[in-house]
Amino acid sequence: QKEVEQNSGPLSVPEGAIASLNCTYSDRGSQSFFWYRQYSGKSPELIMFIYSNGDKEDGRFTAQLNKASQYVSLLIRDSQPSDSATYLCAVKEGAQKLVFGQGTRLTINP
Amino acid sequence: EPEVTQTPSHQVTQMGQEVILRCVPISNHLYFYWYRQILGQKVEFLVSFYNNEISEKSEIFDDQFSVERPDGSNFTLKIRSTKLEDSAMYFCASMGLRNYGYTFGSGTRLTVV
């Protein structure tokens, strides 16, 4: 199975700062990448998806993809305490299956 | 916003018993999935289901597991003879034609004792 690696954290960021979450993947042929947010005891919630190299912005969130380096990241601007959660990187394998990373636990400090 | 609904939210069962986890996917979605997450571990793929048949399954999804879409709305996961190591959160997910990522249900916490 293809691997998706994330730093498990915890990553601690002051409120209002930029949180940067990183993910690497093993399959050079991967085409579709997803970021999910998971609050403790809850289900994953889709934040963003990205298919093309470069940046994709949605509100305070920016996903960045570099296929040559097999690297995808998520930036959260103006971090809020409500952003404290575990962020899961997922890569599509084959037609439909998602392979998830371990997740990075993010804490935003007021 | 449309939701994926899972029941029950928590199920406790004795080892060796059969359990059925239930899901109602989003109504116009065509692809259905079961994933599980053991406490503190990754979300793991179990099975995908499309056009009334399994399209892919993982090594975890052995003969003890089965899925059904009995009536066009419900999507069930059955574990025939539960083991202690089956204790996990089980998430159902569905996806529409646009393939923009899954919507997950709220999960069923299965505890095998």
Q: From the CA of B86, how many Å to the nearest CA of chain A?
A: 17
Q: Which residue of B has its CA nearest to A105?
A: B40
pLDDT of residue B99: 66
Query: Which stretches of chain A sit within 8 Å of chain B by CB?
Result: 32, 34, 42-46, 49, 88, 90, 94-103
C-alpha–C-alpha distance, residues A29 and A94, integer Å: 10
Chain A residues close to B95, C-beta within 8 Å: 96
Neighbour tally for A86: CB within 10 Å: 20
Q: Which residue is listed with tokens 């505890």? A: B111
Whether A90 contacts A1, CB under 8 Å: no
Percent of chain A with pLDDT over 70: 99
Question: Which phi and psi angles does A54 have, rounded to 5°?
Answer: 115, -155
Q: Which residue of B has its CA nearest to A51?
A: B100
C-alpha–C-alpha distance, residues B89 and A108, integer Å: 26
Q: From the CA of B107, how many Å to the nearest CA of chain A?
A: 6
Q: From the CA of A46, how many Å to the nearest CA of chain B?
A: 7
- Kindly state the tokens that stand for B5: 């609904």
Find the length of chain A. 110
CB–CB contact B105 A101 (8 Å): no
- What tens digit of pLDDT does each residue of A3-50 get? 999 988 899 999 999 999 999 999 999 999 999 999 999 999 999 999
pLDDT in tens, chain B (113 residues): 779 999 999 999 999 999 999 999 998 888 999 999 999 999 999 999 998 899 999 999 999 999 999 887 899 999 999 999 999 999 999 998 776 788 999 999 999 99
CB–CB contact A44 B95 (8 Å): no
CB–CB contact A88 B43 (8 Å): yes
Q: Which residue of B has its CA nearest to A94?
A: B56
What letter would DSSP give residue A83? G
Question: Highest mean pLDDT: which of A76-80, A96-100, B66-70?
Answer: A76-80
Chain B residues close to A95, C-beta within 8 Å: 55-56
Dihedral sign (CA A41, A44, A45, A48): positive
C-alpha–C-alpha distance, residues A52 and A65, integer Å: 7
C-alpha–C-alpha distance, residues B89 and B108, integer Å: 6
C-alpha–C-alpha distance, residues A77 and B55, integer Å: 39
Neighbour tally for B78: CB within 10 Å: 13
* CA B57 to centroid of chain Cα atoms: 12
**In the structure, what pLDDT confidence band is assigned to residue A94 with cuts at 50, 70 and 90?**
confident
Whether A34 contacts A48, CB under 8 Å: yes
